[in-house]
Amino acid sequence: MTGTDSLMPPGTPSVLGAAPDVTEDAREYLAAGGYRGALGAAELLDRLDGLRGRGGAGYPAAAKLRAVRDAGPRPVVVANGEEGEPGSVKDRWLLRARPHLVLDGLARAAEITGAERGYVYLSDTTAGERVRRALAERTPRLPCEVVDTPHTYVAGEETAVVRRINGGPALPTAKPPRPYQQGVGGAPTLVANVETLARIALVAAHPERRHRTVRSTLVTLSGRGAEPLLVEVPYGCTLRTLARAQGTPEPAGALMGGLFGGLIGPGRLDLVLDPDTLAAAGTALGCGAIRFLAPDECPVSLASAALAHLTAESARQCGICVAGTGAVRDAVGALTDGTADTGLLTRLERWSASLPGRGACGLLDAAAGTAGSLLRAFPDLVRAHLGTPCPDCAAPADAGRLTVPVPHVARRTVPRPRSAPASR
């Protein structure tokens, strides 16, 4: 991976920090104004209006904080750093490179909600080492425990997070209750994405620049034939601009939001990066992972790889999910080898409309959405696959083509002299 970059205006507080290639230590974070700020909990909460959660669903962060605060005594806060989406690396990068920024945001979320204990939930070994080191560098205001989990697609779903911290498997549970009502140890629980918490800390440190902090986001950009890129961008940037920055200047489309935003065609690349704009266009920002299609790449093949991954990652708790994801995978697989007929397309259209919302988590929704978006975005190309094998689809579906490596973040081994300038 080429690393990290920023498309933010100069002078804007950035979650990438001053040295994205090196883990920030406590001294550097404090020198840059971290763990401090003039805002009280109530005032900070007011300043967070407009901040969307960065975990995928995009739920308003302030509303979630208020719900936990008002749900009952002794709440719990959790930094959720478990990225199930294969095309996303932002959360693991934040925990590796800027653990103090995340811990600061977690402590501020605790102040807002009245929580007395916190957890950092993750599966990445390197991220866990960096977070534990950060906790040892500076005694946190909030008692905090790091909880490791096996890496799976569904392990970061909020009820799976709670279940794992409570000592069970990292598998989703039926809702209600939701974690804000009854979570870790039965207490009201905030499960917040680590980038969301990082932005809370930035707003606290730089309240005068809250608008830019709230209206910017990390995105993981990838595509065949060019190196992936983790970049911070302001809302309003076009998808075409992002494709050029990543190295796919003339993409044939994109797979949006990890595996939740579905496929879009080349005619949608002038859409701007904004949650509401993308939702109105029938797609989603999700976790901020965007996979661009190369000009000669077949979207049917990419959809087949995505569906193979989702089927393999099913928690296998819901019969409808096991049967539904498998059926959708097989149907798109028939398109790749030229054995599908128009009847199969009719069934695929029906499944894409009827399956969402029927599983305990969003995995089935992602599978149905991927198939439905393929039919909508590339109808002529899909029909061209009926009864005709596609050369680009000849290889077996490879979920590995969706996976993005985390940019290397070194641990500083030689301390900077005390007279060194602040890192930001």
Per-residue model confidence as pLDDT tens digits over 161-206 = 999 999 999 999 988 999 999 999 999 999 999 999 999 999 999 9
CATH class of the domain at 12-213? alpha beta
Locate 76 and state its tokens.
């719990």
| Rounded distance between C-alpha atoms, residue 199 and residue 111, angstroms | 15
Cβ atoms 230, 218 nearer than 8 A: yes
Of the candidates 126, 179, 187, the residue with the CA atom closest to the CA atom of residue 156: 179
Confidence of residue 396 (pLDDT cuts 50, 70, 90): low
CA nearest neighbour of 257 among 228, 222, 293, 283: 283
pLDDT score of 418: 46
Average pLDDT of the chain, as a whole number: 91
- Quick one: pLDDT band at residue 398, thresholds 50, 70, 90? confident
Report which of 214, 215, 179, 193 is spatially closest to residue 67, judged by C-alpha positions.
179
CA distance 293 to 275: 21
Report CA dihedral (195, 200, 206, 208) to the nearest 10 degrees: 110
Q: Are 93 and 409 in contact (CB under 8 A)?
A: yes
CA angle 92/255/78 to nearest 5° reads: 30
Model confidence at 392: pLDDT above 90? no
Q: Parse the chain into domains and list their residue ranges.
A: 12-213, 299-389
pTM for this one? 0.93
pLDDT tens digits, one per residue of 226-272: 899 999 999 999 999 999 999 999 999 999 999 989 999 999 999 99
**Residues linked to residue 264 through DSSP beta bridges, in sequence order:** 254
Asked whether the CA dihedral 260, 265, 271, 273 is positive or negative, the reply is positive
Rounded distance between C-alpha atoms, residue 184 and residue 162, angstroms: 5
Angle (CA) 268 401 280, round 5°: 25
Q: What does the alpha-carbon distance between residue 55 and residue 404 come to, in Å, rounded to a whole number?
A: 17
Report whether pLDDT(424) > 80: no
Looking at the DSSP bridge assignments, the partners of residue 192 are 79
How does pLDDT run across 334-344, given as a tens digit for each residue?
Answer: 999 888 888 98
> What pLDDT shows up at residue 358?
84
Residue 318: what pLDDT? 86
Contact between residue 362 and residue 287 where contact means Cβ atoms under 8 Å apart? no
* Rounded Cα–Cα distance for residues 388 and 408 (Å): 43
Q: Which residues contact 355 (CB under 8 A, 6 or more apart)?
A: 320, 324, 328, 364, 365, 367, 368
User: Secondary structure of the chain in the HEC alphabet?
Assistant: CCCEEECCCCCCCCCCCCCCCECCCHHHHHHCCCCCCCCCHHHHHHHCCCCECCCCCCCEHHHHHHHHHHHCCCCEEEEECCCCCCCCCHHHHHHHHCHHHHHHHHHHHHHHHCCCEEEEEECCHHHHHHHHHHHHHCCCCCCEEEEECCCCCCCCCHHHHHHHHCCCCCCCCCCCCCCCCCCHHHCCEEEEEHHHHHHHHHHHHCHHHHHHHHCEEEEEEEECCEEEEEEEEECCCEHHHHHHHHCCCCCCEEEECCCCCEEECHHHCCCECCHHHHHHCCCCCCCCEEEEECCCCCHHHHHHHHHHHHHHHCCCCCHHHHHHHHHHHHHHHHHHCCCCCHHHHHHHHHHHHHCCCCCCCCHHHHHHHHHHHHHHHCHHHHHHCCCCCCHHHCCCCCHHHHCCCCCCCECCCCCCCCCCCCCC
Give 56 or 163, the one with higher predicted confidence: 163
278 — phi, psi (to 5°)? -65, -40
Fold of the 299-389 domain? de novo design (two linked rop proteins) (1.20.1440)
Instruction: Report the distance separating Cα 266 and Cα 268, nearest Å.
Output: 5
